[in-house]
A and B are shown apart, each in its own frame.
Chain A
Amino acid sequence: MSDISEDSTAAGPTQPSGGAGLSARQLQVRSIVQALGMLPVLFILAIAFHYLGDERFLTPQNLSIVAQQAAINTVLGAGMTFVILTGGIDLSVGSILAASAMSALIFSLLPGWGMLGIPAALLTGLGFGLINGSLIAFGKLPPFIVTLGSLTAVRGLARLMGNDATIFNPDLPFAFIGNAAITIAPGVRVPVLAVIAIVVILISWYVLRRTVLGIWIYAVGGNPAAARLSGIKVWRILLFVYSVSGMLAGLGGVMSAARLFAANGLQLGQSYELDAIAAVILGGTSFVGGIGSIWGTLIGALIIAVLSNGLTLVGVSDIWQFIVKGLVIIGAVALDRVRLQGSART
């Protein structure tokens, strides 16, 4: 890892009077440990499911399904990471995903212009994100309240868009997004959904670690008052992160529409926001803002997908899946706390 990027991942125990602080090497080790924090959990789960499920888990076919299942949550989680890094929260991503998927389907039905569904969905998401961001940045309203409101209101709009019915398009022009796969090596095929998720993670990483905007996001999350006094236009940062979250929810809408050839304003994306938040938290990002990494979110999203897939494979009923998933999330984070004792900042 390089110098600047070490920032936000490391949250060492604050030494009261240690003088010189931690050495660069210790910091490096710590930041790697923290970024990879949940990786062992991911591996243990994968291996456990493999042997519990008659060695059916770690096969190319199944892993490709896991990747597909993780993809949408990864994209939503990436947006959520931006938001949570500023100390905010976006509860509306599931609803925005549904509304965007409706847009995608509606535009996809235009004869000859079906591909317009993709930009339509992205703009729908961006629009709702901008509204969230404006209310939070200019209206100075708490993010939890604003996005709780839009969670409900946008859900209603999504239903309205399809007259509360499911929209189908069997000839969806961008169906490849949800169903095709790319052969990267003989016998190794990666679903397009997973490719999109990886690209989103890479771009997010670049923005957070290699651009001024990224540092400002960490700064605003770490100490908003100091950020303002340092000349950072805090409103711009807030507007940006909620717009990104909204637009990525829009992208999630495209992905989900492409996978299903259909969208339904009522059911689509229900409680997706909770999975996205869980992925971010599993990834070690601090709820109070200013600390966290996008790689953690990727690992968090993979853990959630592995759990869903693995539990089904092993034959655990749907009801028990909820219970186990919840407990694993709490347990994993508790474990992380114990491991990094002293940092107690989240």
Chain B
Amino acid sequence: MTLEPDPVPRLEMRGISKTFPGVKALNDVKLKAWGGEVLALMGENGAGKSTLMKILSGAYQADAGGTLLIDGKPVAITDPIAAKRHGISIIYQELALAPNLTVAENIYLGIEPSRRGQIDRPAMRTGCQAVLNRLGAPFTPDTVVSGMSIAEQQLVEIARALHTNSKILVLDEPTTALSSRETDRLFALVRQLRAEGIALIYISHRMAEVYELADRVSVLRDGSYVGTLTREELSAEALVKMMVGRDLSSFYTKTHDPHGSRGPVLLEVRGITDGGRRVRPCSLRLHQGEVLGIAGLVGSGRTELARLIYGADGKAGGEVILAGNSVAINAPEDALKVGLAYLTEDRKGLGLFLDLSCGTNINLGVIGSDARAGGILDRAAWRRRAARAFESLRIRAASPQVIVGSLSGGNQQKVLLSRWLEIGPKVLILDEPTRGVDIGAKSEIYRIIDELAKRDIGVIVISSELPEIIGVCDRVLVMREGQIAGEVGGPGGAPITQENIMAFGAGMAA
């Protein structure tokens, strides 16, 4: 890739600072992006990437003193509409589509063409189809968004950006919810857009993706600009060092006995199913002190299986046996009562209470049993548990009274995780435990998983990141189309490798 073909960058940000009450989120940050290149923006959660992008998109106003240039001309982006006018589009991690509308309606949302005062649907459909063709999208303008996969919805967002002639496209961790096949398709699209001359800013935590796509990588740390590496200078060590400011000795910790799977069976699931909609009858065994991985493509029924076991969704059949006793789990409270907890993959939507404090979020699973007679809060226990969680999980927040919504993703995840640790679980199901979490918090979560296994707790880890599955799990079940397609690892099993897992996940192994 030729760099800087143009002396003037498509986008240049200079001296950008942003102060929130009490926190300086950005301090004199600079950034340059050229048309026809992919600039990766990296940094731990809390480094200021999202804030910088929100300034670019007009959602936030930078402090006075910074400059924003597009094609060398200073521009003022005072609101999202101004950003649109200057050709800036951002595809956020949390997609922002109207689920009950069609693809065409979403793409034309707010800019519907009209003819004689009525919405010109044929024009909408034609215009939409043109963009979809350009993207090679597998759906039509009339498809309703709510039935689409995350990958398809993302494509709709990209289509919307292209339709408004965006020259600068920001992708904020676009692959977090994608399967590897969908990721490949997205990468092809990113390369195509690069070839078309669009300036792409790609935010990601995943080193592999950055290697594959980026022409240059800019790194932020603690709200400051650290530096930029070109493709030639790129190395994992250099990047990690820039992001965390120190060397990471070992990423995956595995000090528990990896053959815990020979211990007694802790949890057995027999033929659990939702009637075949998403989960066909599945059986599994989890041993004491074992870390069992569940791999598989997104949509293969991993989350749905976990939700069935936890009682979050109604099951049509099957049995759950915990420590030798059949247990009736019809609702989450039944599961929690017998010591089975489930950490959701959707931290903000289904996990945390963003307006409540960290301490209350941590205590939520136990305030009932901690309470004194008549349901009166035991505030001493509240403080004690919150303090303990803060210390043992190294949660970075001023105090347990801080509203959890104001923390970074990694710290939010630690708060949610400690809610389930506080109940003293026997079995803990972790669904994408490190999604949207920075490297520091990731290795911390791996350390906790290892510790849980040492304490004879059975841990199930559901993850789309194969390196994570391979790094932390003792045995791995691979799901495909709502069924357990195969098993790797464990005593006498095939070794846990990317190839062996992929073979089952893609249905290539017998």
List the interface of chain A (C-beta within 8 A of B). Answer: 2-4, 6-8, 10-24, 26-28, 210-215, 218-219, 222-223, 225-233, 290-291, 345
| Chain B contacts for A225, CB-based, 8 A | 349-350
Interface residues of B in 355-369 (CB under 8 A from A): 355-357, 359-360, 364-365, 367-368
| Chain A contacts for B403, CB-based, 8 A | 10-12, 21-22, 27
| Chain A contacts for B405, CB-based, 8 A | 14
Say yes or no: B355 contacts A11, CB within 8 Å.
Answer: yes
**Given the complex of chains A and B, what is the CA–CA distance between A211 and B397 in angstroms?**
25
**Shortest Cβ gap from A143 to chain B (Å):** 20
Say yes or no: A210 contacts B376, CB within 8 Å.
Answer: yes
Interface residues of B in 335-370 (CB under 8 A from A): 335-337, 342, 344, 349-357, 359-360, 364-365, 367-368
The answer, yes or no, to whether B379 is at the interface (CB within 8 Å) is yes
| Chain A contacts for B419, CB-based, 8 A | 230
Digitize B383-419: 1 where CB-to-A-CB distance is under 8 Å, 0 elsewhere.
1000000000000111111110111100100000001
Say yes or no: A17 contacts B47, CB within 8 Å.
Answer: yes
| Chain B contacts for A2, CB-based, 8 A | 379
Say yes or no: B50 contacts A16, CB within 8 Å.
Answer: yes
Residue of B whose beta carbon sits closest to that of A26: B22
Say yes or no: A226 contacts B353, CB within 8 Å.
Answer: yes
Select which of B350, B383, B406 is within 8 A of A18 by beta carbon: B406
Name 17 extra pairs, CB < 8 A, besides A26-B22, A212-B377, A222-B353: A3-B401, A15-B20, A21-B397, A23-B399, A24-B398, A28-B401, A215-B360, A215-B377, A222-B355, A225-B349, A225-B350, A228-B331, A229-B310, A229-B344, A230-B332, A230-B419, A290-B356
Q: Top 7 nearest A-B pairs by Cβ distance? A: A21-B406, A231-B333, A19-B46, A18-B23, A24-B399, A21-B402, A231-B336
The answer, yes or no, to whether B316 is at the interface (CB within 8 Å) is no
Interface residues of B in 129-182 (CB under 8 A from A): none
The answer, yes or no, to whether B75 is at the interface (CB within 8 Å) is no
Digitize B13-38: 1 where CB-to-A-CB distance is under 8 Å, 0 elsewhere.
00000001111010000000000000
**Shortest Cβ gap from A323 to chain B (Å):** 34
Select which of B23, B25, B353, B396 is within 8 A of A290 by beta carbon: B353
Say yes or no: A17 contacts B45, CB within 8 Å.
Answer: yes
Say yes or no: B353 contacts A4, CB within 8 Å.
Answer: no
| Chain B contacts for A17, CB-based, 8 A | 25, 45-51, 223, 408
Give me 9 A-to-B residue pairs in the complex whose CB atoms sit less than 8 angstroms apart, sorted by A's number.
A7-B356, A19-B46, A20-B396, A20-B402, A21-B406, A210-B376, A215-B377, A226-B350, A228-B331
**Given the complex of chains A and B, what is the CA–CA distance between A223 and B21 in angstroms?**
26
Residue of A whose beta carbon sits closest to that of B60: A16
Say yes or no: B354 contacts A14, CB within 8 Å.
Answer: yes
The answer, yes or no, to whether B54 is at the interface (CB within 8 Å) is yes
Interface residues of B in 309-348 (CB under 8 A from A): 310, 312, 331-333, 335-337, 342, 344
The answer, yes or no, to whether B7 is at the interface (CB within 8 Å) is no
**Given the complex of chains A and B, what is the CA–CA distance between A12 and B350 in angstroms?**
21
**Shortest Cβ gap from B123 to chain A (Å):** 35
| Chain A contacts for B333, CB-based, 8 A | 231-233
**Given the complex of chains A and B, what is the CA–CA distance between A248 and B374 in angstroms?**
21
Say yes or no: A212 contacts B371, CB within 8 Å.
Answer: yes
Say yes or no: B383 contacts A3, CB within 8 Å.
Answer: yes
With A212-B367, A229-B342: A15-B355 Cβ-Cβ less than 8 Å = no
Say yes or no: B365 contacts A19, CB within 8 Å.
Answer: no
| Chain B contacts for A233, CB-based, 8 A | 331, 333
Residue of B whose beta carbon sits closest to that of A289: B355
The answer, yes or no, to whether B202 is at the interface (CB within 8 Å) is no
| Chain A contacts for B377, CB-based, 8 A | 4, 210-212, 214-215
Say yes or no: A345 contacts B355, CB within 8 Å.
Answer: yes
List the interface of chain B (C-beta within 8 A of A). Answer: 20-23, 25, 45-51, 54, 222-223, 310, 312, 331-333, 335-337, 342, 344, 349-357, 359-360, 364-365, 367-368, 371, 374-377, 379, 382-383, 396-403, 405-408, 411, 419
| Chain A contacts for B351, CB-based, 8 A | 226, 229
Residue of B whose beta carbon sits closest to that of A10: B403
Say yes or no: A4 contacts B22, CB within 8 Å.
Answer: no
| Chain B contacts for A27, CB-based, 8 A | 401-403
Interface centre among A11, A210, A227, A231 (most CB of B within 10 A): A231
**Shortest Cβ gap from B6 to chain A (Å):** 31
**Shortest Cβ gap from B306 to chain A (Å):** 11
**Shortest Cβ gap from B43 to chain A (Å):** 9
**Given the complex of chains A and B, what is the CA–CA distance between A345 and B355 in angstroms?**
10
Select which of A10, A15, A223 is within 8 A of B353 by beta carbon: A223
**Shortest Cβ gap from A308 to chain B (Å):** 33
**Given the complex of chains A and B, what is the CA–CA distance between A233 and B311 in angstroms?**
13
Residue of B whose beta carbon sits closest to that of A214: B377
| Chain B contacts for A19, CB-based, 8 A | 23, 46, 222, 396, 407-408, 411
| Chain B contacts for A20, CB-based, 8 A | 23, 396-398, 402, 407
**Given the complex of chains A and B, what is the CA–CA distance between A4 and B344 in angstroms?**
25
Interface centre among A17, A18, A223, A291 (most CB of B within 10 A): A17
**Given the complex of chains A and B, what is the CA–CA distance between A345 and B371 in angstroms?**
31
**Given the complex of chains A and B, what is the CA–CA distance between A11 and B336 in angstroms?**
30
| Chain A contacts for B342, CB-based, 8 A | 229
Select which of A8, A14, A15, A215 is within 8 A of B367 by beta carbon: A215
| Chain A contacts for B374, CB-based, 8 A | 211
Say yes or no: A22 contacts B350, CB within 8 Å.
Answer: no
Say yes or no: B401 contacts A15, CB within 8 Å.
Answer: no
**Shortest Cβ gap from B334 to chain A (Å):** 9
**Shortest Cβ gap from B415 to chain A (Å):** 11
Residue of A whose beta carbon sits closest to that of B341: A231
**Given the complex of chains A and B, what is the CA–CA distance between A291 and B354 in angstroms?**
11
| Chain A contacts for B353, CB-based, 8 A | 218-219, 222-223, 226-227, 290
Residue of A whose beta carbon sits closest to that of B410: A19
| Chain A contacts for B364, CB-based, 8 A | 215, 219, 230, 232
**Given the complex of chains A and B, what is the CA–CA distance between A345 and B359 in angstroms?**
22
| Chain B contacts for A223, CB-based, 8 A | 349-350, 352-354
Select which of A16, A26, A222 is within 8 A of B354 by beta carbon: A222
Say yes or no: B359 contacts A3, CB within 8 Å.
Answer: yes
| Chain B contacts for A212, CB-based, 8 A | 367-368, 371, 375-377
Interface centre among A12, A226, A345 (most CB of B within 10 A): A226
**Shortest Cβ gap from A288 to chain B (Å):** 10
Interface centre among A15, A210, A223 (most CB of B within 10 A): A15
Say yes or no: B332 contacts A229, CB within 8 Å.
Answer: yes
Say yes or no: A211 contacts B375, CB within 8 Å.
Answer: yes
With A215-B364, A215-B377, A225-B349: A18-B46 Cβ-Cβ less than 8 Å = yes
Interface centre among A14, A22, A210, A218 (most CB of B within 10 A): A22
